[in-house]
Chains A and B, each alone.
Chain A
Amino acid sequence: MTQPSILLDGLPVPFVDGQTIMDAAMAADIFIPHLCHHPEFKPQGSCKLCTVKANGRYVSACTLPARDGMEVENNSPDLNDKRRTLLQMLFVEGNHFCPSCEKSGNCMLQALAYELEMLSPHFDQFYPNRAVDASHPEVLLDFNRCILCELCVRASRDVDRKSVFSLSGRGIDKHLIVNAESGRLADTDFSWADKAAHVCPVGVILKKRSGFAVPIGKRRYDVEPIGMQVERLAARSADEES
């Protein structure tokens, strides 16, 4: 019996039962833009960057199981236009000022903006003004850069078993909080060794006193654009470098 496959941008891509479109694409070294997806965690489909067209319908590639013969459109002007708009909205919701951000060059949001040729924020900036949490001796939290991907929430809850992070508020007021009475990271049992310390795709969870230590040219996405790093993204081998 032949292995089932989907037709991804016209190319047959095999999959095994239970794999999503994202899983199948990654296994075949094909890049589907994404932010909230992480191979080690249950997909939640919240960022919508991985939106593809499957049999004519817009769906999240990270949540939809692949089906034999499914025709999937991924790298098309229409989808990339929509992804670019999503990126623009994420950029203006937070303070994503790459020029002075230490995550620059290692940031998935920035890398995707380059990949999808986002040339301007387009929308009005929200300019959130949330105080950074520098209370922890090892880690700094800059809440103004959170994109609500919940990777730290999932990692802390499901892997570290600490539930240090959570989202609070509703709708446009939704934001990341620290699960402590004081709201301060220092009053939790969070540690730099935690999985949650290494999954943030943007510049929220940062190791203190090490910003800008890696020179321009040597940072993760200086070396190769994100679209060429599918294998590393699939294995998340670079998490420990962040």
Chain B
Amino acid sequence: MQQAQGFELETASAAAGSLRRVAIDPVSRVEGHGKVTLLLDDKDQVQQVRLHIVEFRGFEKFIQGRPYWEVPVMVQRLCGICPVSHHLAAAKALDHVVGAGRLTASAEKLRRLMHYGQILQSHALHFFHLSSPDLLFGFASEAGRRNIVGVAAAYPDVARQGVLLRKFGQEVIRLTAGKRVHGTGAIPGGVNRALRREDRQGLLAEVGQIVGWSRDAVQLVKRLHAADPALYDGFGTFRSNILSLVGADGALDFYDGQLRVRDADGGILVDGFDVQNYHQLIREEVKAWSYMKFPFLAALGPRQGWYKVGPLARVQNCDFIPTPLAEAERRQFIDHGQGKPVHAPLAYHWARMIELLHAAETIAELLHDDDLSGSELSTSGARAREGVGVIEAPRGTLIHHYQVDDEDLVTTCDLIVSTTHNNQPMNEAIRRVAQRYLNGRELTEGLLNHIEVAIRAFDPCLSCATHALGKMPLQLELQDAAGAVIGRLSSAS
């Protein structure tokens, strides 16, 4: 068994004062900021690379003292891209508090439909709007064209399909949650609305086309990989453990399941782990240079126990995908690894499009189910004081944990969001990219974008802001050893 490696370039061996500091600041995240700092020696060799991110943590504090039924609606405001994930993770945690050990069939299927709509729209947004410009035009192509408008001009069908895929996912969310963004569909113990039959018919009329476009998206990513396998397999590649939820039967499952961890060679380290005990499996390390914690497997420790989450982890962690088209694509993906797990960050895009296809197929199946229009929407039982809700958000495993007192107020809240799990992986990826592409080179916007491409592959929450309409709010400053600014680069300039 070979364990994860890493941590090269986390801390420079030479005294920092003798090195030149380059800061990419801010790297915007969804509702916050992060930055990348590089330390270069006098031969422009990279000595240290760090991705620092300001995280969501304020929510854990101000949710304290609030009534528990307010939580699913409040915490979804963590994010504007995948609020449904937070909404459902919180509701799942609070199902335990209201004693709803098993939801009604209607409630579970409506939540599942909402969530798969979320996966569909978020994956479409990330691939088509945010990442396809890099992949279709090249990482260092003309910055002015490297955006969705450029894609629309050069590949109008691709852009149109991306927009309409996302629109369909948003529509699924609107019909199950009341709004496209920040609705109220899930409540502790169930849901507050069923899907009207006429709304199901409306979605059914479109879903065949959605599945078709999702298949096209997988083919597009495969063509990109085939056109330059050295780049797609090698760019920023590092080995690590992988972690995700897996259904009880080993199926890929975004809504519910148990935790499974594989090592870098694909061997199973942990399986069937009850999410209610997540704190026994995962610890978080604090580093002085970042606002975001570094999760790791308690049994392996921080050096060996870090792991990837998200599409690349999920597609390789499950035993199968329970829809036929996506399962066929998963097999091709696994074959690409020739018996070894695929660790390439750019393969995240491939895995993500397989998941997009699976989400579309699952929605198509669910829409035929009359339980979606049922009337038994919520349930409750013996009150508990604590609950954990885990869900596979578009970006990876999302953990919500609450404790509630006898007066119904939240006393503690612990959230581990997907981007946090991928903290160390994103750092590893940009270190490898910096070593490979930046060493000894004069820094340009195109090279700066290589760092972003590596970060973006993970679809962290910051990808939206860093790539909005091609105007990445990134600034790069060159300072001499004395701290004087000797050069400045801005991607918006």
Please measure, in the bound complex, the distance between the C-alpha atom of A177 and the C-alpha atom of B409, giving whole angstroms: 20
Q: Is the CB of B192 within 8 A of A214?
A: yes
Which parts of B80-109 form the interface with A (CB within 8 Å)?
98
B160 proximal to A (CB < 8 A) = no
Contact partners of A211 in chain B: CB under 8 A: 67, 69-70, 73, 187
Please measure, in the bound complex, the distance between the C-alpha atom of A131 and the C-alpha atom of B407, giving whole angstroms: 13
Interface string of A122-143 (1 = CB under 8 A from B): 0000000001101100001000
Q: How far is the CB of B438 from chain A (nearest CB, A)?
A: 42
Q: Is the CB of A215 within 8 A of B184?
A: yes
Contact partners of B185 in chain A: CB under 8 A: 215
Please measure, in the bound complex, the distance between the C-alpha atom of A221 and the C-alpha atom of B378, giving whole angstroms: 24
Q: Is the CB of A132 within 8 A of B67?
A: yes
In-complex Cβ contact of A140 among B67, B72, B98, B378 (8 A): B67
A99 proximal to B (CB < 8 A) = yes
Q: How far is the CB of B171 from chain A (nearest CB, A)?
A: 15
Q: Size band of the A side of the interface?
A: 20 to 34
Q: Size band of the B side of the interface?
A: 20 to 34
A180 proximal to B (CB < 8 A) = no
B112 proximal to A (CB < 8 A) = no
Q: Is the CB of A215 within 8 A of B178?
A: yes
A41 proximal to B (CB < 8 A) = no
Contact partners of B179 in chain A: CB under 8 A: 216
Interface string of A85-125 (1 = CB under 8 A from B): 00000000000000110100000000000000000000000
In-complex Cβ contact of A212 among B65, B98, B192, B407 (8 A): B192
Q: How far is the CB of A230 from chain B (nearest CB, A)?
A: 27
Q: Is the CB of A215 within 8 A of B408?
A: no
Q: How far is the CB of A205 from chain B (nearest CB, A)?
A: 13
Q: Is the CB of A212 within 8 A of B69?
A: yes
Contact partners of B98 in chain A: CB under 8 A: 209
Contact partners of B298 in chain A: CB under 8 A: none
Q: Is the CB of A217 within 8 A of B178?
A: yes
- On whether A215 and B409 interact (CB within 8 A), knowing A100-B77, A132-B65, the answer reads no
A3 proximal to B (CB < 8 A) = no
In-complex Cβ contact of A216 among B74, B178, B408 (8 A): B178
Q: How far is the CB of A110 from chain B (nearest CB, A)?
A: 14
Please measure, in the bound complex, the distance between the C-alpha atom of A99 and the C-alpha atom of B183, giving whole angstroms: 9
Q: Is the CB of A213 within 8 A of B192?
A: yes
Please measure, in the bound complex, the distance between the C-alpha atom of A134 and the C-alpha atom of B409, giving whole angstroms: 7
Contact partners of B395 in chain A: CB under 8 A: none
Contact partners of A209 in chain B: CB under 8 A: 69, 98, 408
Please measure, in the bound complex, the distance between the C-alpha atom of A132 and the C-alpha atom of B407, giving whole angstroms: 11
Interface string of B177-211 (1 = CB under 8 A from A): 11100111101000011000000000000000000
Query: Can you give 25 contacting A-B residue pairs, CB < 8 Å?
Result: A99-B74, A100-B70, A100-B73, A100-B74, A102-B69, A102-B70, A132-B65, A132-B66, A132-B67, A134-B409, A140-B408, A208-B67, A209-B98, A211-B69, A211-B187, A212-B69, A212-B73, A213-B187, A215-B178, A215-B185, A215-B193, A216-B178, A216-B179, A216-B184, A217-B193
Given A99-B74, A102-B70, A208-B408: 16 more A-B contacts, CB < 8 Å: A99-B77, A100-B77, A102-B73, A132-B67, A134-B408, A134-B409, A135-B407, A140-B67, A206-B67, A209-B69, A212-B69, A213-B187, A213-B192, A215-B184, A216-B178, A216-B184
Binding site for B on A (CB under 8 A): 99-100, 102, 131-132, 134-135, 140, 206, 208-218
Binding site for A on B (CB under 8 A): 65-67, 69-70, 72-74, 77, 98, 177-179, 182-185, 187, 192-193, 378, 407-409
